Amino acid sequence: MGFIMDGLDAEEYDRQYSDGELVKRIWHYFKPRRKLMLIVAFAIMADSLASTAIPITISWGVDEVERSGAGANLALPTLVLIGVGSIAWVFNLIRRWYSSRAIGDVVLSLREDAFNAVMDRDLSFYDRFPSGKIVSRVTSDTQAFTQVVDLTMNLLSQVLLIMLLIGYLFFVNVTLTLITLALAPLIIIVSLAFRNIARKTVTQSRRVAAEVNKHIQETISGIRVAKTFRQENAVYDEFSDVNHQSYKINLVTGYTFSSIFPILNLMAGFGTVALVYYGGLRAQAGTISAGEWFLFIQGIGLFWFPLTSIASFWSQFQLGLAAGERIFALLDAEPNVVQHDNVKPATIKGDITFENMTFAYKEGETVLDDFSLHIPAGQTMALVGHTGSGKSSITKLVARFYEFQSGKLLIDGQDIRSFHLEAYRKHIGFVTQTPFLFDGTVVDNIRYGKQEASTEEVFTVAQQVGGGDWIRTLPRGLHTEVGERGGNLSMGQRQLVALARVLLQNPSIFVLDEATASIDPLTETLIQEGLDVVMQNRTSIIIAHRLSTIRNADRIIVLDHGKIIEEGTHNQLLERGGHYADLYNTYFRHQSLDYIEQAGQLLA
């Protein structure tokens, strides 16, 4: 079966919990709803007891009528029977009414916790694990967990019921009861054997579901590429493979689960038959009365059901436990970014110091090595250098998206690790390389960093960016729906929205990561003016690609393989004729007019 499981390994943060640990974790969620759950368990039990009372009532009714002969009162047994049936119905009502609340609440809080855990992970987590699979854990696995809650309540009531029934059976006949109980261990052994198989197959099922999720998320997000390159067939074949893998695994799981109950039932059948025969012999011999024997046979049927239920529940339970294990692993995944203290800075000046820092995204691929840099508050600093020289890493470290391995990062002289993360980030405005917009209007998106801002504030800020000219080109102005990921807007428009977003947030430290790079020439000048407004009175770190930006910077840092190889102003560096001059010649010069005129020869 190994080939079916290809590619379905555990994620790095997956772990195995002992049953004891799992129970403890689950109890944490059950505890606040334990009253509800107990009510439900009692209602289930009472419902079953009322159902149990039905054959007793019938036999009592028969006896009664037989005793009284022709003139018997038939209404009484009828009414009693109807009464018992109605009570059963009421208990069923109570049971369902409260169980949906108990289940709904447990799943909700588990889901919220899973979501919170996801939000708390730092970016290295997202680099490593496909988001489609994370999504799967938060919604799909929590959904599967529903079963655990439902089964727990059922199990509880079945255990109560079985104890009552055993008491009753002993009351009717001790020997026959002992024979019945002798069969129980066999059933327990079988169900325990099933448990292990069930857990294994179900874990595979959950994983393959995540795989399907991941595949769909990725291919649907990238469907445009598949279409332009006419590669639908390749994508489809790949999906087919995942889909069929899912089929095979789920079939195994399905067969396992649909076999448990029939097998246990067959075993119970043997037990019943043995009792019918043995009891019949005893009745014939006159050791027990025929009525007793009949009652016992009726009772035994009632006894098997909860017993086989408990046994099969235990396996079904695995379904939810496997899902639970995946959720708890997500909750327990160790964050890399760890804060030592919870200082909430009211204001930040924006003085940034890197001291002998070493940083790597992955072990063995060091990006910054023994890196030191001081950015005084209020300075506009431009980072230039080749791709992979560590520019983005510096900005991401300032935003505390990643943990560094050694050295120090001080903000206003304080260790960045000592801050309360959210309170600190409030002072940082970050415009990312590819601006990400959320489904909603432009206003919603600008307001994203400062939810309490009024619409007027949003309008003012939008006007400040690019002179507000761009708003005119939007179909419904600032109330235009941007679509998922901002798909209804052009890339330039998305960047303008992202800039307005930061401007509204009014941070002490402004980080701009290549953001102006793909804004068209006509908009660029306007953007530049907007940027000048944003950069006033705050520390700005710019990964610049525009000549105009770099010229305006107070200081330029030239990076190469994580090391500062030059620094100064644009003019100083140009005069020096070193690395920056080289970079300028190949990288920024093309934006100057001289270069544009020469480029014709290059392209020809």
Does 7 sit near another protein (CB under 8 A)? no
Give me the 565-584 binding string for another protein, x by CB under 8 A, dash otherwise: -----------------xx-
Q: Which of residues 519-548 bind another protein (CB under 8 A)?
A: 519-525, 543, 545, 548
From candidates 7, 32, 104, 167, binder to another protein by CB under 8 A = 104
From candidates 8, 56, 111, 164, binder to another protein by CB under 8 A = 111
Structure tokens at 443: 């206003």
Does 305 sit near another protein (CB under 8 A)? no
CB 400 within 8 A of CB 558: no
Query: Given the complex with another protein, which of 146 and 358 has the nearer CB atom?
Result: 146
CB atoms within 10 A of CB 548: 16
From candidates 175, 196, 284, 455, binder to another protein by CB under 8 A = 284
Does 18 sit near another protein (CB under 8 A)? no
Query: Given the complex with another protein, which of 392 and 540 has the nearer CB atom?
Result: 392
What is the distance between the alpha carbons of residues 402 and 338, in angstroms, rounded to a whole number? 10
Q: Which of 282, 220, 279, 210 is CA-nearest to residue 246?
A: 210
Query: Given the complex with another protein, which of 169 and 583 has the nearer CB atom?
Result: 583
CB 219 within 8 A of CB 239: yes
Q: What is the dihedral of CA 244, 249, 251, 256, to 10 degrees?
A: 180
DSSP string across 442-470: HHHHHGGG-TT--HHHHHHHHHHGGGGHH
Q: Which of residues 487-516 bind another protein (CB under 8 A)?
A: 487-493, 495-496, 501, 505, 511, 514
What is the distance between the alpha carbons of residues 536 and 540, in angstroms, rounded to a whole number? 9
CB 423 within 8 A of CB 400: no
From candidates 433, 460, 464, 506, binder to another protein by CB under 8 A = 433
Give me the 23-52 binding string for another protein, x by CB under 8 A, dash otherwise: ----------------------------x-
Q: What is the dihedral of CA 539, 543, 549, 550, to 10 degrees?
A: 100
Q: Which of residues 401-430 bind another protein (CB under 8 A)?
A: 401, 422, 425-426, 428-430
Q: Which residues pair with 563 in a beta bridge?
A: 560
Q: Where are the alpha helices (DSSP H) in 173-231?
A: 174-221, 223-228
- How is the beta sheet containing 366-375 ordered, strand by strand? 366-375, 352-360, 406-411, 414-415
Least spacing, CB of residue 18 vs another protein, in Å: 29
Q: Which of residues 127-146 bind another protein (CB under 8 A)?
A: 127-132, 134-136, 138-140, 143
Least spacing, CB of residue 127 vs another protein, in Å: 5
Does 204 sit near another protein (CB under 8 A)? no
Q: Which of residues 329-388 bind another protein (CB under 8 A)?
A: 361, 364-365, 386-388
Least spacing, CB of residue 278 vs another protein, in Å: 9
Does 470 sit near another protein (CB under 8 A)? yes
Least spacing, CB of residue 570 vs another protein, in Å: 16
What is the distance between the alpha carbons of residues 136 and 141, in angstroms, rounded to a whole number? 6
Q: Which of residues 225-264 bind another protein (CB under 8 A)?
A: 225-236, 239-240, 243-244, 246-247, 250-251, 254-255, 258-259, 261-263
88-122 burial, b at 16+ Cβ within 10 Å, e below that, comes to beebbebbeebbeebbebbbeebbebbeebbeebb
What spatial distance separates the first Cα and last Cα of the chain, rounded to whole Å? 60
Does 55 sit near another protein (CB under 8 A)? yes
Least spacing, CB of residue 243 vs another protein, in Å: 6
